Structure 1
Amino acid sequence: MSNASWTWVGIALAVVLVGAGLWLLLSSRSSGRHASSRPSRDSFRSGQDDAPALKRMAVVVNPTKLEDDGSAQKGIVERVCAEQGWDVPVFLETEEHDVGFGQTRAALAEGVDVVCAFGGDGTVRAVAQEMVGSGVPIGLLPGGTGNLLARNLELPTDDLARAVEVAITGRNRHVDVGWMTLDPSDADLEEHVGEGATEGRRRHAFLVMAGLGLDAAIMSETSEQLKARIGWTAYVPAGLKNLLIERFKARLTLDGGQPMELRARTILVGNCGKLTGGINLMPDAEPDDGTLDVVVLSPKGIAAWASVVARVVTKSDRTTKTLDRFRCQQASIHVDHAQQIELDGDIVGEARHLEIEVQPRALIVRTEAGRPASVPADA
Structure 2
Amino acid sequence: MLTRYALLIVNPIAGHYSKRRLHKFVHYLQQLNWHVFVEPTHFKGHGAQLAQNYINSGTQLDLIIIGGGDGTISEIAQILLGQTIPLALFPIGSANVFARELNIDFNDRRNAIMISHYCQKEIWPAIVSSDQSKTIFIQMLGMGPDGWVVHNVSTKIKKIFGRAAYVLSTFLMILRYKFPEFSIFIDGHSYKINAAIISKGCFYGGNFQITAASKQSSKNCDAILFRCNNFYKFGLAFLKLLFCKKNTDHLEIITAKEIIVPASDNIFMQIDGDVFSAKEIKISISPHPLRLLVPKNNSNNF
TM-score between both structures, scaled by the size of structure 2 = 0.89
Which residue in the other structure is 1:363 paired with?
Answer: 290
Question: Cα distance 1:55–1:312, how it changes in 2: closer, same or farther (>3 A)?
Answer: same
Shift of 1:293: 0.4
C-alpha distance in 2, partners of 1:336/1:81?
44
Deviation string, structure 1 residues 326-367 (Cα, Å, up to 9, x no partner): 11111111237522321101112x333110001267011100
Name the structure, 1 or 2, with higher relative contact order (CA <8 Å, separation 6+): 2
C-alpha distance in 1, partners of 2:44/2:231?
40
**Correspondence for 1:95 among 13, 20, 42:** 42
Deviation string, structure 1 residues 191-238 (Cα, Å, up to 9, x no partner): xxxxxxxxxxx2101100012221111011112233233321221232
C-alpha distance in 1, partners of 2:291/2:52?
16
- The one-letter code of the counterpart of 1:136 is I
- The one-letter code of the counterpart of 1:93 is P
**Correspondence for 2:267 among 314, 317, 339:** 339
The question of 1:245 aligning with 2:245 is answered: no
Question: Cα distance 1:341–1:300, how it changes in 2: closer, same or farther (>3 A)?
Answer: closer
Which residue in the other structure is 1:33 paired with?
Answer: none
Which residue in the other structure is 1:262 paired with?
Answer: 192
Shift of 1:145: 1.1
1:224-243 matched pairs, under 5 angstroms: 224-243=155-174
Count of residue pairs the alignment pairs up: 298
Runs of 4 or more above 3 Å deviation: 65-68, 370-375
The question of 1:120 aligning with 2:57 is answered: no
Shift of 1:312: 2.3
C-alpha distance in 1, partners of 2:275/2:42?
17
Which residue in the other structure is 1:28 paired with?
Answer: none
1:58-77 matched pairs, under 5 angstroms: 58-65=7-14, 70=19, 72-77=20-25
C-alpha distance in 2, partners of 1:230/1:314?
27
1:157-196 matched pairs, under 5 angstroms: 157=106, 159-184=107-132
Q: Is the 8 A contact 2:122 2:292 kept in 1?
A: yes
Which residue in the other structure is 1:199 paired with?
Answer: none
Q: Name the SS for the 1:217 alignment partner.
A: helix
1:282-297 matched pairs, under 5 angstroms: 282-297=211-226
Give me the CA root mean square deviation: 2.3
- The one-letter code of the counterpart of 1:122 is G
Question: Cα distance 1:130–1:374, how it changes in 2: closer, same or farther (>3 A)?
Answer: closer
C-alpha distance in 1, partners of 2:265/2:36?
47
Deviation string, structure 1 residues 133-184 (Cα, Å, up to 9, x no partner): 1111101001111111111111113x12222222222100111111000112
Q: Name the SS for the 1:122 alignment partner.
A: helix
Q: Name the SS for the 2:7 alignment partner.
A: strand
**Correspondence for 1:146 among 95, 120, 130:** 95
C-alpha distance in 1, partners of 2:289/2:297?
15
Question: Cα distance 1:261–1:67, how it changes in 2: closer, same or farther (>3 A)?
Answer: closer
Q: Name the SS for the 1:105 alignment partner.
A: helix
Structure ID, larger Rg: 1
- The one-letter code of the counterpart of 2:295 is E
1:36-55 matched pairs, under 5 angstroms: 54-55=3-4
Shift of 1:93: 1.2
Q: Name the SS for the 2:160 alignment partner.
A: helix
**Correspondence for 1:298 among 204, 211, 227:** 227
The question of 1:219 aligning with 2:219 is answered: no
Deviation string, structure 1 residues 44-95 (Cα, Å, up to 9, x no partner): xxxxxxxx96211110011223755x1x333323322232223x31001111
Question: Cα distance 1:152–1:373, how it changes in 2: closer, same or farther (>3 A)?
Answer: closer
Q: Name the SS for the 1:154 alignment partner.
A: coil
C-alpha distance in 1, partners of 2:300/2:11?
34
Shift of 1:252: 2.1
C-alpha distance in 1, partners of 2:172/2:180?
17
Shift of 1:370: 6.9
Q: Is the 8 A contact 1:148 1:276 kept in 2?
A: yes
The question of 1:106 aligning with 2:38 is answered: no
Deviation string, structure 1 residues 273-303 (Cα, Å, up to 9, x no partner): 2111422122333311221100112323354
